[in-house]
Structures are given as structure tokens and as C-alpha cells.
A and B are shown apart, each in its own frame.
Chain A
């Protein structure tokens, strides 16, 4: 796995210094209330402050009803904030403003929604894929070429182009839904729980694809998930939403430091973080190291640390046992 190589490097962002990044998304004290002023008003976001730099891969985690989806819909102007300000690229969205023309923004920031079957509306896959590019003013031929290319990049064959979207399998539908967004070639790509209906192989493929889009093509990716572990390896930044507030904003190392708070935020603590916090408690020299992003890298780091500490006689028998199973290279967390 690619993550094997950069366990010790302190900068997972490919060498670009943080402060040189252009800020593409900036939220200042953003509130959002659904049906504001009506009898069914329901607050979804409270005082959210965020900044996202260009070319980053951001994981947005949070339990159900924490405001993740609302956050994404604010960023492309589907919803206007009811308080604060939202700046995305060169557009600023303010509460109560007359709804501006947003196509110029939406061409550059694509959103793939949570339930693909509710978002495919044309009668063939090809028409659905071409819908965005055509609306954003591309000529028909180019839109067609983009549609085919987007489908290929999701690992789907062109034989699907003539099929009805709702006749696809759940996994195919999800990939087509993401391809419809990719077809327009957005600079910022937002995905709302894209891995929810995928099997584990397809999930890994999708994450690898997102990682490629981010690293090779410089696109900014915002991915909502409630499985922190699936994005731990590739995400540059994490945003944790809880009850409409952004309660955490930082990288995986900081997230690992606060692993014990995750369950209070309505998230399952990833096995990898549980394992790491257990080992760092046992071997204090590990605590100074950054969180190894993949299980393999973590195994290596722990094995080295254990070998180092075994030289001293302090290691207990129990620890030796762990090291043995550890060196066989499996079940890192079986005891927990």
C-alpha cells in the first residue's frame, strides 16, 4: 500500500506548506435553520467556522443528524446560511441575500448526494451523465466524451451508457451518481457518504480514485463519512460535526489524541485508533510519533518500538506474547 512509505514523514500533504495554500472554502459563524421562521423550524448548524485549502482531501465525520449534509449543501448554494457567511471560491453567500446566479459556482463545486437512486432522473445513464456538462455550457459532443470518460474513471464499462439508471445495481448506481458529478470536472468535489452502499473492495477503489483526483489533478475533495477508518490513510484534515457544531478540526494525529472523545461525538472509534492508543499507553516512546496512517505501517512502527524496548529487561511476558502475534503480522487489535 502506498501509505507504507510515508509513516515517518511529518507532512502528508505532499510538501506544500500549509500557509501557501489558497483558501477555497471559508465559513464564518455559520448558522442554518431549516424552515426558519415557520412552525417546523429546526436548527441544523450553529456557529460553524471552517477553512479549507485548495487541493486537500478532507474527511467530514459525524453521527446522523449532526449537520454534515447540511454543511455540504451550504457550500454549493443549495441552501443559503441563516447566519454568518459562507465563502466558496470567489462567491460569498450571506443570509437573506437575493438568491444569486449560482451556475458559475456549481460548475466548479460538484456535489454527489447521499442516496444515488434519488438523484438519477434521466432515462439513460448517458443522459444523466451529460446533464451537468450540458447545463454548464459544453457542446454536446464534448459532453458525450466527458460522460464516457467519467464512467470509465469510476471503473464502469461503456455498455452501461444506454441503460436506465434505476435498472443498475446499488453499487453501480452509486458509481454512476459520482460519475455524473465528475463529468462536469469540478475543482472541488463533495461526496455525501459515497461508500455507504459499496462493498469493501469497491470502497477501497473509490478512496484510491479520490486520492488520485486529489494528488494528481489537484482537486479539493470533501467526503462525508461515518466510518473514520476508511479515510484515515488518505485524509489531510478531519472535520467532526456533532449536533450542528464543528467540534473538531485537525489532522489524523490530533484526531488520534482525542480518540476517546469520538464516541461522545456519536462516532465509532476506529480499531486502528483504539489499537494505537493502547500501544502508546504501554510504550511511551510511541506517543511522540505521528499516527501511522495504515495498519501495515502501524504494525511496523509498533514492532520496531517493541524490539527496542525488548532489549531492556522491563518488558513483561504478556507484552512478549503480543509481540509474537504482532510479528506474525495479524490481529493487531484482537485482544481489545
Chain B
């Protein structure tokens, strides 16, 4: 299970993207998402895809690895595709003109297909770009980045610190819980209930039986973690310095500006057309 879910873990390659300030990368991520939402045509999406390809190549993480992040999402992607095709933008487009094929209440058109593919392409770009962020940034740097970005907004209160601690712990818990679920699955397999040998109904029942021990385990871990944080003198709002200071360089500015152009461009194209 864990080897299937590879998003959320840093892959050290020492590339220039790894060295960027996390704040720059998070900002770029937000801008990229905004541009994705604003673009409603293939030309805009092609520009976004080209730019993300350049960034992905710069991370030096093999392209295959990015493709692997899509695999756990394949059913969701298929669902989005079908939904858009038959009920969402596709249906709207089909209602207009150019119906190619009808079957009962379902109708297909070239425009509908294009709209559904567009939705899928957006989703794929979003997933891959998010993967880029987590492959090049450790969870703690992500947390620090978010903390740094929220600090000006929270005006000296402890909101930013709380939020970033929460986020960091949540990120830490995702692999921990997966691991715990996997351990229990292994224990069950060793005692004759192998998940991979079961039919869908047995699988569902087995997964339900995981809920209680994994939840109990999560609470136990959370409690131990709180105690351990307190035992090591962690206090919200205490004055705290960092071993590695976040440093904003010229490259960070250039990276952010490049990504800032994307939603602006998308908005302009939208306004013109």
C-alpha cells in the first residue's frame, strides 16, 4: 500500500528546484492552481503543461515516478471523465449542438468529449504538480514555508505556528497510519486472511475491520506524540529559532514571478475571448 502511495515523500536529487525556498514553491503551486482553474481551453492548458514539464525535468526526479503518482488516482480520474462526459460540461456542450451519438438520456458530442478530456487534463496537471512540490520539499520545510507565509497575516499571534504544527503532524501521520494499516493487513494475511486473495465483499469486510485498530492506533500515537512534545519543552508561542533559516534568493523571486504570469495570462485570454 505504501509503495503505491508515493506522493508526500521527498526524493533527494539535489536539483535547483529542491533548493528553492518553500514559500516560493507553495506560492507557485497556488498560482499554478489558479491558472488551471482559469484556463478553459486547450491552448492555455498546453502552455501550463509545457511549463510544468520544464519544472518537472528540472527536479531531476524520473518522469516515471510522476506517472506513478497518478496510478492510485486512476479510478477518480475515470470518474471525473465519465461524469464530465455525461453530466457536467460535456452534457452542456452536447445540449448545444453537434450530437454525435445518443442512447436514451445519454448523448455524446465532440465538444463534450473535448470538455471531459480538458477536465481530466487539469486534474492530471494538478496531481503531478502537487507531487512535484512534495518530491522536492520535506514536510518540515513545507510546514515552515506555510508558517512563514501565514505569519504576516496572523500579526504576531500564534495562529501561524499552530497551523503549521498541525499541518506538519498531519503530514507525518499519513505514512504512519498507512504503515499501521499495512502491518495489520500483514498480521491478518499471516493468519489466513490474505487481502489479495479475497473477493470484493470479503475485502470490504476486512477493510472495515481495520478501521477500529487503526483509529485506536492513531489516538495512541497522537497521545504519545503530545507527551513527547511536552516532555521536550515544546510550547506554542515560545520564542524559537531555526537551525536552517529560510532564505529568499533571486531565483525564488524569478520562479514566483514566472508562475504569477500564468493566471494573469489565463485571465487575459479569458477576457479577450
Contact = CB atoms under 8 A, between A and B. Distances in A.
A250 to B, nearest CB: 29
User: Which 5 residue pairs of A and B lie closest in terms of their CB atoms, listed nearest first?
Assistant: A135-B192, A132-B191, A119-B187, A35-B3, A121-B213
B61 A39 contact: yes
B104 to A, nearest CB: 40
B6 A38 contact: yes
B183 A115 contact: yes
A195 interface: no
A113 B213 CA distance: 16
Given A99-B196, A101-B197, A102-B197, A39 B6 contact: yes
Residue among B189, B212, B220 with the highest chain A CB neighbour number at 10 A: B189
A118 B191 contact: no
B159 interface: no
B191 A40 contact: no
Interface of B: 2-3, 6, 9, 11, 61-62, 65, 68, 180, 183-184, 186-194, 196-197, 209-210, 212-213, 216-217, 220
A131 B186 contact: no
Given A78-B190, A107-B192, A38 B183 contact: no
Contact of B190 (A101, A110, A123, A166): A110
Contact of B191 (A39, A73, A117, A180): A180
A121 B187 contact: yes
B65 A39 contact: yes
Given A101-B197, A102-B197, A118 B189 contact: no
B184 A106 contact: no
Contacts of B187: 113, 118-121
Nearest to B213: A121
**Secondary structure of the B contact surface, majority rule:** helix
Contacts of A117: 217, 220
B156 to A, nearest CB: 40
Contacts of B216: 166
Residue among B183, B189, B191, B193 with the highest chain A CB neighbour number at 10 A: B191
Contact of A102 (B3, B62, B194): B194
Given A118-B180, A119-B187, A121-B187, 11 more contacts: A38-B68, A39-B11, A39-B62, A39-B68, A73-B186, A106-B192, A106-B194, A107-B192, A113-B183, A113-B190, A121-B212
Contacts of A184: 191-192
20 contacts: A35-B2, A39-B61, A39-B68, A76-B190, A78-B186, A99-B196, A103-B194, A106-B192, A106-B194, A110-B191, A118-B180, A119-B183, A121-B184, A121-B188, A121-B209, A121-B213, A131-B192, A132-B191, A136-B192, A184-B191
